[in-house]
Structures are given as C-alpha cells and as structure tokens.
Structure 1
C-alpha cells in the first residue's frame, strides 16, 4: 500500500542521504573515529579518539533492524526508547498516514529483499528527508542488528 510516486521519492531520499553522509564524513570524519557512543538520556552521539570526544551530534532515533526477526522496527513503536528521541520518527509515521504509505505507518517492516541493512538505510533515508536531518548513522547491535540514528546537528567537541 503506497502511492505511485513513493518508490521514486524513496530512491531520491536515499540518494540525498548518501550525499548528506558524504558531507558529514568530509567535515567531521564520521565513520572513521575509533569509537562512538550514543547517550539516549541526552540525545547525543559522541565520536572519540583515544578516550577524547572529538565530535558531538544531536540525534533522533529512526528505528532498528533485527537479523533474528528479519525486520525493521520503527522507533516510535519501541517502548524501550525515550520519548524525547522519537519526535522525528512520529513525524514520519504521520507522513505515512497522510500519504497512505504502509511501511511508514506500520510498526514492523519485513525484509522482503534479503537485504535488511539496505532496508534500514532506506527507511532512515525517508526519515532524514521528511525531517530535514543532516544525515544518519548506523550503530551496530548484537546478533546482526543495528540502531539507525538521524543526525540533527553535528559539531566539533570543545
């Protein structure tokens, strides 16, 4: 269930996210720091080198993938996550409801292409586009999962 324009829109969202992430990589070396930590109480993602925080990003949580379950779970449907970090995900759900896009309004999205990570990036790209985020980051989790975060701001640590 989706409008005719949605597949092209989602492809464009992914292309936009790829470009945004390339800018973040160039400006802040995201993806190259030896360590990252996210703090769900402060809504921040910290990138560090030798125990020194170098880059700080404000985040919203898009969702997570689970290889075991073979699906994506939108953050707005995960009761274990803090409500303060779900505003953008809820906005995407509203966008999905307004435009009759099933994968944006149902809690779970099943991986039908056998590429769960790509599904996670595509749905995160939709959130980045709807909410005009700076980019996104995927934090690995145990058992073949990942937590997808939308970056709302990024700056060098002072």
Structure 2
C-alpha cells in the first residue's frame, strides 16, 4: 500500500501514544467491570457492576476486524453502522486522502498474520488524528469492534 516515507514511524508513535493514553485511563478499570453495554446510535459505552452503571463514555467507531475475512473495515465504509459514530473515521479517511496514505483512505486493509495488531495500529492512528482520550475493544472471539473514547466519566 502506498504511503509517504514518514508514515510508518508516525503510525508507530500513534500506537505508543494510544498505549500511554489507555494507561492513563486505568483508574476507570475498563476491562474489569462485570458488564459493558454500547449503544452506537447514542454513541455511548457503559460499564456496570450488579446492575449499576459505574463508568460512562462517549464513543466513535474506528473500525472492525474480521477473522473470517482477515481484514480491517473502516467504520466510514461499514453500512451497518449508524452515522452518529462515524465522524472520527471520516476525519481519518480525509487525512489519508490528503497525505496519500492508502490504508487510511481505502475501505479495507488486509493483514492475515497480525489482525489484532493491525486493528490496534489503525485505532491508534484514529486516536491521534482525532485527539481522542483512548480506545476500547469489547471482548470478542470472531474479530473486534474498535471504539474511540471521546469522553469518559464516573457515573453519578
């Protein structure tokens, strides 16, 4: 895939930034609550314990990975997603088009050997371009839904 010379290092830095941002979110214990629920139309992600919401986040969708198809699909190209959660992915596509970065501007990206790393790498690029707080991927066996955290707060 076509990209400028600076892009591979930029993407690696974006992934490192994502890891640091997610570490700063550790106090919210995102992976440890007994339940999570997301509402893509409302653009929310809720974490709860014993029926009580503990943490609430506003989200956007970066994209999805598919083990069956061995690819990444950008949210802006996924007709199954509501428009309310696509703004950040559309910004990434524009950035890719303006800078000649195919993997940010084309609907699908394939990487049969490292699909999860691909998902997190492209999510890191999204977080960097859109200045998000971090990212979350709900647990899944068949692939992944990569959510961008725009805001996050303790529930009342």
Please list every run of at least 4 consecutive aligned residues from structure 1 whose deviation after the TM superposition is greater than 3 angstroms: none
Q: In structure 2, what is the equivalent of residue 157 of structure 1?
A: 155
Q: In structure 2, what is the equivalent of residue 132 of structure 1?
A: 131
RMSD over equivalenced CA pairs, Å: 0.9
Q: 1:32 offset after TM fit, Å?
A: 1.4
Q: Scaled by the length of structure 1, what TM-score is found?
A: 0.95
Q: How does 1:1-158 map onto structure 2 within 5 Å?
A: 1-25=2-26, 27-112=27-112, 114-141=113-140, 144-158=142-156
Q: 1:140 offset after TM fit, Å?
A: 3.1
**Structure 2 segments unaligned to the other structure (5+ residues):** none
**Structure 1 segments unaligned to the other structure (5+ residues):** none
Q: Scaled by the length of structure 2, what TM-score is found?
A: 0.97
Equivalents in 1 of 2:44, 2:96: separation in Å? Answer: 27
Equivalents in 2 of 1:117, 1:48: separation in Å? Answer: 26
